[in-house]
Amino acid sequence: MSFSEFQLLSVLAQEMNMRKAAERLFVSQPALSQRLQNIEKEWGTRLFNRSPKGLTLTPAGELVVDFANEILERKEKVLEKIHSFESEVHGTLKIACASIVGQNWLPKVLKQFVEKYPHAKISLMTGWSSEIAKALYEGEVHIGILRGTPDWKSRKIHLFKDRLYLVDKEIRRVEEVLETDRPFIQFKSDSNYYQEIQNWWHRQFQMAPKRTIIVDQIETCKQMTFNGIGYAILPAITLHQWESDFYKIPLHDEHGLPMARDTWLMGYDSAFELRQVEAFVEVVNDYLAEQSTSFE
């Protein structure tokens, strides 16, 4: 089998739909169907079951697709090593990034990276920091950008710190929270961040909020707050200077120090030896040197 056939099987297994797979592979459905039949003939067994609802893998198909994905991954690693010998930066930079950083900080860095290294490719996944850590531990990405205080034994670079604020259109002092009937708007987050907010709340008020609204995205939480629906606790990275029509009250810990979230860039030492990762770290360091390294 050729690498193109391994890729065909991998894409089919991801999409489980002939039409979608054909679109991704830039071939017609009849041509894709014929190529799949030839591959199945070569293996001497059916790899996919077809139905009006789509495709399903047979037990033999699962084995062959795993084999195909392993070959493709090994090819990618070999290419990365080959490109690392060259002066130009090639290969794919695989990043897993906390969603909030991916929305508010990373695009500016990636813009400089692609302008400086136009031959490099970027694969980016975003999610909660707990999900990023999992992808990093399992070797799915080269580097991870996480929030909080991650326990990481390999290489770790501190990027910036941003403070936490209680944000509202009406509330000017923390004590006014007890007087309002408007809801506390919270966004789902990893357990570390959620627990940090819960601890602050109970230290401050010794009672639960009167009303709460839970949303799944921090941007939704922010927009609901800015539209006067309720109040929220938001990190400074989400609060831009031009958005001035609101009050923000800094949070402090039990020692009276400002509460803040740290952001880290992490990866295994072997990943930092890759030329595209090395180049990205250089761009990050240059960007941090030019910009403020903290959010207030």
Q: State yes or no: pLDDT of 242 exceeds 70.
A: no
Tell me: the pLDDT tens digits for 122-177? 999 998 888 898 999 999 999 999 998 888 889 999 999 999 999 999 999 999 99
What does pTM read for this prediction? 0.69
Domain boundaries, the chain: 3-84, 92-161+261-295, 163-258
Per-residue pLDDT, 292: 61
Per-residue confidence band for 29, with pLDDT thresholds at 50, 70 and 90: very high
31 vs 185: CA distance, rounded Å: 52
Taking residues 230-241, report their average pLDDT: 88
Per-residue pLDDT, 216: 87
Taking residues 104-111, report their average pLDDT: 94
**Of 111, 130, 133, whose CA–CA distance to 122 is shortest?**
111
* CATH, range 92-161+261-295: 3.40.190.10
DSSP-derived secondary structure letter, 208? -
Q: Specify whether domain 163-258 bears CATH 3.40.190.290.
A: yes
Token pair recorded at residue 214: 């839970």
Residue 49 contacts residue 60 (beta carbons within 8 Å): no
* CATH, range 3-84: 1.10.10.10
79 vs 74: CA distance, rounded Å: 9
Per-residue pLDDT, 295: 60
With pLDDT > 90 as the criterion, what percentage of the chain qualifies? 62
Q: State yes or no: pLDDT of 99 exceeds 60.
A: yes
Q: State yes or no: pLDDT of 195 exceeds 90.
A: no
Domains 3-84 and 92-161+261-295 share a fold: no
210 vs 177: CA distance, rounded Å: 9
Q: What is the mean pLDDT of the chain?
A: 89
